[in-house]
Amino acid sequence: MKHNDFEFDSYFKNYPDCNGYFGKYGGSYIPDELQKAMDEITEAYYTICKSSKFIGELRRIRREFQGRPTPVSHLERLSNSLGNVQLYVKREDLNHTGAHKLNHCMGEALLAKYMGKKKVIAETGAGQHGVALATAAAYFGLECDIYMGAVDIKKQAPNVARMKILGANVVEVTDGLATLKEAVDAAFAAYSREYKDCIYCIGSVVGPHPFPMMVRDFQSVVGIEAREQFMEMTGELPDAVVACVGGGSNAMGMFSGFLNDPVAIYGVEPLGRGPAMGDHAASLKYGTEGVMHGFNSIMLKDENGEPAPVYSVASGLDYPSSGPEHAFLRDIGRVTYDVVSDEETIDAFFTLSRMEGIIPAIESSHAVAYAMKLAKQMERGSILINLSGRGDKDMDYVIEKYGIR
Ligand SMILES: *Cc1c(COP(=O)(O)O)cnc(C)c1O
């Protein structure tokens, strides 16, 4: 398919290039000693991702442990209430541990095992990535160190308990503001000390090469399954595909299945309380080009050019940049990025729960809210939404802050 004169037939062969660039975005901007470790991961991945043994083992794990394929569900009552457009959801809420993150954590941990590493390390903010990685580490019998700010440890007690029950070592970080940024710094410092025995597992399609590519590849199972299931259910492709974008992993997984099709693709960012800096985390909408956390992309910067403070009702979307591939797909016009507010998101959270019996994660509710708006604008057709996770983790917070609607 041609889109704005861009050839998608050989897209996955050409993007990223061998240095990890999607156009001008991506790459690797890290200290030399970490670059050595990253090169080792890149080389191992390029070899292993073509090995039938690796692919076969990952397929078996997806089926027998994760419970894949996850279904696609038709949202009949919700669709009828909005008009003629038919809405469908890909049910990543039914993936083991309740979200899409385990898709890449199982891949990363399997890679660690193939590389002969004993340990995986990562940082976590809200704890979702930490729990998924701790799950993967337990499955493979790997040690697992999760770096987490002291403030977040207090706020996210259930996820801290989960990680500990799963056998992970939660390392408390007390420097600075003791939140995600300090946890990232501490985890990178640990990695440069320990990289011979471990690999660092990044939690989205961000960070230095090869992670944006590798995490996309591990998540592409979502788009591959969804495309096939949708075709089988309806005999055709959806007219539009919608996913929420924080770092962008669930979205890239879904989008990668449809880039070469005549399907409109929408990435939804959090507008939070509004467009003023500090009130949202819509980096692709309001950001500018810059380097952070080891990669070049579009980011929200403060007046000193440092990553700006961001806000969203969804802690998983609360990130001042997005993966380099999203920046690229935006620039070439293949994917449209737009925003929904906290208010619209909470409405969608209750609407999906009430009309379909599915309590969505607040992150995923952004995609649902956008699809509901889109359905009202379109006269006919179908929309496939990636429901990245379940909302059990968000129930107490929603009721405390918004009450029952
Ligand atoms: C972490 C998370 C996200 C955001 O991460 P992406 O890398 O942007 O996909 C979205 N939905 C859920 C349920 C999450 O846990």
pLDDT digits (tens, 9 = 90+) for 36-75: 999 999 999 999 999 999 999 999 999 999 999 999 999 9
Statement: residue 281 has pLDDT above 60: yes
- What would the two tokens of residue 83 be? 């008009």
Query: Residue 243 CA: which ligand 1 atom is closest?
Result: 9
| Tokens (6 digits) for 301 | 């910067």
Give the C-alpha distances (Å, rounded to integers) separating 171 from 17, 38, 253, 269: 36, 23, 30, 30
Å from CA of 106 to ligand 1 middle: 16
Query: What distance in angstroms lies between residue 5's CA and the mean position of ligand 1's atoms?
Result: 31
Separation CA 255–CA 247 (nearest Å): 14
Which pLDDT belongs to residue 146? 98
Instruction: Indicate whether residue 393 lines ligand 1 (CB < 6 A).
Output: no
User: How many whole angstroms separate alpha carbon 297 and alpha carbon 33?
Assistant: 23
Answer yes or no: is the C-beta of 101 below 6 A from any ligand 1 atom.
Answer: yes
71: which DSSP letter? P
**How many angstroms separate the alpha carbon of residue 32 from the centre of ligand 1?**
30
Rounded to the nearest angstrom, the distance between the alpha carbon of 40 and the centre of ligand 1 is: 27
Which of 70, 89, 100 for a ligand 1 pocket mutation test, highest count of atoms within 8 Å of Cβ?
100
The response to whether residue 250 sits with its C-beta less than 6 Å from ligand 1 reads yes
Has residue 271 got a pLDDT over 80? yes
Write out pLDDT tens, residues 356-387. Answer: 999 999 999 999 999 999 999 999 999 999 99
Catalytic residue among 28, 79, 101, 393: 101
Percent of the chain exceeding pLDDT 90 equals 92
List of residues 6+ apart from 386 with CB closer than 8 A: 89, 90, 92, 100, 222, 226, 241, 242, 243, 244, 250, 251, 253, 254, 364, 367
Other CB atoms within a 10 A radius of the CB of residue 319 amount to 27
101 is catalytic: yes
pLDDT at residue 5 is higher than 80: no
> Which ranges of 336-404 would DSSP assign to H, the alpha helix?
342-356, 362-377, 395-402
Ordered alpha helix ranges (H), 93-156: 101-114, 128-140, 150-155
405/402 Cα distance (integer angstroms): 8
Q: What percent of the chain has pLDDT over 70?
A: 99
Identify whether 51 is a catalytic site residue: no
Give the separation between CA 130 and CA 90, rounded to whole angstroms. Answer: 23
Burial (CB count within 10 angstroms: exposed 0-12, middle 13-18, buried 19+), residue 35 = middle
The answer to whether the CB of 249 is under 6 A from ligand 1 is yes
Which residues 6+ apart lie within 8 Å of 190 measured at CB?
121, 145, 147, 171
Question: Which pLDDT score, from 0 to 100, does residue 250 have?
Answer: 98
Reply yes or no on whether the pLDDT at 314 is more than 80: yes
Instruction: Please identify, by atom number, the ligand 1 atom nearest to the C-alpha of residue 245.
Output: 8
- Mean pLDDT value across the chain: 96
Query: What is the rounded distance in angstroms from the CA atom of residue 359 to the CA atom of residue 210?
Result: 34
Give residue 282's pLDDT band: very low, low, confident or very high (50, 70, 90): very high
In sequence order, which residues have a C-beta less than 8 Å from that of residue 259 and are 6 or more positions away?
8, 11, 265, 329, 334
Quote the strand ranges of 15-70, DSSP E: 21-22, 25-26
User: Does the pLDDT of residue 2 top 70, yes or no?
Assistant: no
Asked if residues 258 and 290 have their Cβ atoms less than 8 Å apart, the reply is: no
Quickly state the pLDDT bin for 8 (edges 50, 70, 90): confident
Helix/strand/coil for 330: helix
Confidence of residue 3 (pLDDT cuts 50, 70, 90): low
In angstroms, rounded to a whole number, what is the distance separating the alpha carbons of residues 180 and 223? 29
Q: What is the structure's pLDDT at 7?
A: 76
Instruction: Show Cβ contacts of residue 286 under 8 Å, excluding neighbours closer than 6 positions.
Output: 275, 277, 280, 300
Examine the residue annotation and report whether 376 is marked as an active-site residue of this protein. Answer: no
> Residue of the nearest CA to atom 7 in ligand 1?
249
CA separation, residue 303 to residues 215, 278, 300, 306, 307 (Å): 31, 12, 10, 7, 9
Which ligand 1 atom is at minimum distance from the Cα of 203?
7
Give the distance (Å) from ligand 1 centre to CA of residue 327. Answer: 17
> From atom 1 of ligand 1, which residue's Cα is the shortest distance away?
316
Q: How far apart are CA 75 and CA 331, in angstroms?
A: 32
pTM: 0.97
